[in-house]
A and B are shown apart, each in its own frame.
Chain A
Amino acid sequence: MLAEEMYEFRGQLKERGIIFCYSGYMTEDVLAGIGSAIRRKLEIEEADRRTAKILFSVFVEQVQNVIRYSAEGEPPNVPPGDFDLRYGVLTVGIQDDMYFVACGNLVKNADVDPLGAALSHIKALSKEELKVLYREKLKDGPPEGSKGAGVGFIEIARRADNGFDFDFAPMNDEFSYFCLKAYI
């Protein structure tokens, strides 16, 4: 039964084209470990170097977003800004002949509108406009660790050749679930 259940779970992931899946506390060590496994897998697949680099870049920005901003974490009963560990889900896979990197994490309801607005704005920009905004953020953007859609999302938008989708699902009075999926 154990094996059957796990195999079934694996099958569900496979059906969705998922090659890598991680659900749990995201740390920089997890990032480094999964990162090198992804690179290895792409080497074996003989994905071209450009695609491999872009996928890795999008992966790093996605995971670092979760590490810095997920509103679910440990220890409990402290404000999300003070978490030592932050929870998130990461999947990397292939769908319609494109690689994708998707991340999900809780966000506070109060952050849904500003984050959504910033991402909609970024999504609508041309390559050239993204470049200009990126420069502005490098010059005057908020420092590392501060809230708001920083340079990481712009990096994702610039690198992901086939764009990205995102949305939110309301959970309760305090939190919503946020997911961003980038296509390479």
Chain B
Amino acid sequence: MENLNIQATQRTPEVDFNFEKSIFFLRGESYPEDVTSFYGPVISQLREHLASREGVEISFGFELIYFNSSTAKILFGLFENLDEAASAGNKVNITWAFEEDDDNMEEMGAEFAEDLEHADFQLKQLKG
């Protein structure tokens, strides 16, 4: 699958998906006008890729500065997809970065991680 690199805008994050190495990043801000049209194609490619992996290392880094509640729904689903990939026998590492003193962002990461059964999860403080 062709790697995916979408530049960040004021309201949408940078999408840095390296399918070859199974290393994925979302970086920046997320409050798009229409979450479905932004995330729909991106996530369906990711799902397709994850479903085809077995016994490999997969890493997903979330480095979000701000996201709205519609994006939260998308992220929640993404965590489920990643956990499924882990239960299918892949080694999945999720890293959730937050800015110093951003307790809300830290808390959101921890909340998303609560349902994870198979994937590894780490919180990481971004240097200011």
Residue of A nearest to B112 (CB): A138
A56–B31 alpha-carbon span in the complex (Å): 11
Shortest distance from the beta carbon of B60 to any chain A beta carbon, whole Å: 18
Does A121 touch B at the CB level, under 8 Å? no
Q: Which residues of B contact A50 (CB under 8 A)?
A: 101-104
**A150 and B69 within 8 A (CB):** yes
| Chain A binding surface, main DSSP class | helix
Number of interface residues of B (CB under 8 A): 21
Highest count of chain B CB atoms <10 Å: which of A48, A60, A61: A60
Q: Which residues of A contact B69 (CB under 8 A)?
A: 61, 150-152, 154-155
**B101 and A49 within 8 A (CB):** yes
Does B33 touch A at the CB level, under 8 Å? yes
Q: Which residues of B contact A154 (CB under 8 A)?
A: 69
| B positions within 8 Å CB-CB of A | 10-11, 31, 33-36, 66, 68-70, 72-73, 76, 99, 101-104, 111, 114
Within 8 A of B (CB), among A108-135: 131, 134-135
Residue of B nearest to A49 (CB): B101
Residue of B nearest to A39 (CB): B66
Shortest distance from the beta carbon of B76 to any chain A beta carbon, whole Å: 4
Known: A50-B101, A53-B66, A155-B69. 16 other contacts (CB 8 A): A28-B33, A32-B10, A48-B101, A49-B102, A50-B102, A50-B103, A53-B104, A54-B104, A57-B66, A57-B104, A64-B31, A138-B76, A141-B73, A144-B34, A152-B70, A155-B72
Q: Mark A51-79, 1 if CB is under 8 A from B, else 0.
A: 00110110011001000000000000000
Does A159 touch B at the CB level, under 8 Å? yes
Q: Which residues of A contact B101 (CB under 8 A)?
A: 48-50
